[in-house]
């Protein structure tokens, strides 16, 4: 599989955007980056474009970032002019993605939510979200728009809190170029099961992106791949392979005390190792175990995957 990197891992350690792209290109196995609009383009679109070309990197997706001006809600807040500004910001992000050779725009609406009882009209707010995605899809048929959900943070409750709600939205939106991005930590926070969510979205042809990381579930920890939920990560990768997932895997991890390049390399190594482990095993046998629904056969399979041999 192809891998994409998070440049904020470097920027937060004092490296420029151009320096981050150069450092990422030096990590073996990483050929893509995801960029935030507008924050990563302070020096201009041409500067970023040239740096991508210079270092042989491709753009996976533009993630439109809504900062404090939108804290009452990007599209479902009380002020119509704020929603209009949010829509215009997405439109400019679309132009940036298209210019840089990507057809994917990822939208995480962290401020569209509520904190208290009696603070949201859930029906009308959901209708507004459906309308926004329909308009974007219709106005930009050459682009794909990916819904990234998170159950909380920046709000106590978000309007798009789970994979089930994403599937509901996709049914409501009814556009072929609107899909979903699954973030591993966000799924754990929501008590979603990662492989389950991915399998259903793959079956529907709507899984546009995977953000791989790990965490304990209370917050968006952004830890190294497989460091906490090893089996859940392995099963997610199994279903990605089985479902024919072709897009890059984006390592959305947050090194704070760790060296950014070393942490990115650790993510690559962990994911490669897990994929090789799956490739070395009989896929039909794994499927037989799944179909048996036998917990003891599942336990034996896990021991086998650890190198214990088939029981």
pLDDT tens-digit map of 192-249: 999 999 999 999 999 999 999 999 999 999 999 999 999 999 999 999 999 999 999 9
Q: Output the CA–CA distances (angstroms, integers) from residue 243 to 174, 195, 225, in the order listed.
A: 22, 11, 20
Q: What is the pLDDT of residue 309?
A: 63
Element (H, E) at 208: strand 207-212
Q: What is the pLDDT of residue 307?
A: 87
pLDDT tens-digit map of 177-199: 999 999 999 999 999 999 999 99
d(CA 179, CA 164): 13
pTM score over 0.85: yes
Q: Output the CA–CA distances (angstroms, integers) from residue 223 to 72, 127, 270, in the order listed.
A: 29, 35, 12
pLDDT exceeds 90 at position 310:
no
In this structure, of 75-79, 265-269, 306-310, the range with the lowest mean pLDDT score is: 306-310
pLDDT exceeds 80 at position 43:
yes
Mention the CATH class of domain 3-280: alpha beta
Helix 80-99 to helix 122-139 angle (10° resolution) is 30
Q: What is the pLDDT of residue 80?
A: 98
State the average pLDDT for the chain.
98
pLDDT tens-digit map of 53-84: 999 999 999 999 999 999 999 999 999 999 99
| Centroid of chain to Cα 55 | 24
Alpha helix ranges (H) inside the chain: 8-11, 17-25, 45-54, 80-99, 122-139, 163-173, 184-189, 194-203, 230-242, 260-279, 283-292, 295-303
- Mean pLDDT for 115-123 is 99
pLDDT exceeds 80 at position 308:
no
pLDDT tens-digit map of 150-169: 999 999 999 999 999 999 99
Ordered by start, the domain boundaries in the chain are 3-280, 281-311
pLDDT exceeds 60 at position 6:
yes
pLDDT tens-digit map of 125-143: 999 999 999 999 999 999 9
Residue pair 248/240 in contact (Cβ under 8 Å)? The answer is: no
At residue 311 the predicted structure's pLDDT band, cuts being 50, 70 and 90, is: low
pLDDT exceeds 80 at position 172:
yes
- Mean pLDDT for 107-121 is 99
pLDDT cut 90: percent of the chain above it: 98
What is the CB-side half-sphere exposure of residue 167 using CA atoms within 13 A?
14
């Amino acid at each position: 599989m192809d891998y994409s990197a998070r440049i904020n891992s470097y920027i937060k350690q004092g490296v420029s955007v151009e320096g981050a792209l150069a450092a990422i290109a030096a990590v073996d196995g990483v050929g893509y980056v995801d960029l935030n609009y507008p924050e990563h383009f302070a020096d201009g679109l041409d500067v970023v474009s040239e740096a991508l070309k210079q270092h042989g990197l491709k753009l996976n997706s533009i993630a439109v970032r809504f900062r404090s001006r939108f804290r009452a809600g990007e599209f479902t807040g009380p002020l119509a002019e704020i929603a209009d500004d949010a829509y215009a910001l997405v439109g400019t992000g679309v132009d940036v993605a298209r210019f840089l050779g990507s057809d994917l725009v990822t939208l995480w609406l962290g401020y569209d939510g509520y904190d208290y009882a009696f603070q949201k009209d859930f029906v009308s707010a959901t209708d507004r979200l459906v309308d926004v995605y329909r308009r974007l899809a219709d106005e930009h048929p050459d682009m794909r728009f990916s819904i990234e959900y998170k159950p909380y943070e920046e709000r106590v409750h978000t309007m798009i809190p789970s994979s089930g709600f994403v599937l509901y939205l996709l049914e409501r939106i009814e556009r072929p170029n609107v899909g979903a991005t699954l973030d591993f930590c966000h799924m754990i926070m929501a008590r979603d099961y990662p492989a389950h969510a991915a399998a259903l979205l793959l079956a529907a042809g709507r899984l546009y992106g995977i953000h791989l990381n790990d965490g304990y579930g209370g917050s968006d920890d952004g830890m190294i791949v497989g460091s906490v939920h090893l089996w859940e990560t392995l099963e997610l990768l199994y279903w990605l392979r089985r479902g024919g997932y072709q897009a890059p895997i984006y390592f959305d991890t947050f090194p704070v005390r760790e060296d950014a390049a070393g942490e990115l390399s650790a993510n690559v190594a962990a994911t490669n190792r897990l994929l090789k482990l799956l490739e070395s095993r009989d896929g039909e046998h794994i499927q037989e175990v799944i179909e048996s629904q036998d917990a003891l056969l599942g336990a034996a399979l896990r021991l086998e995957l650890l190198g214990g041999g088939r029981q």
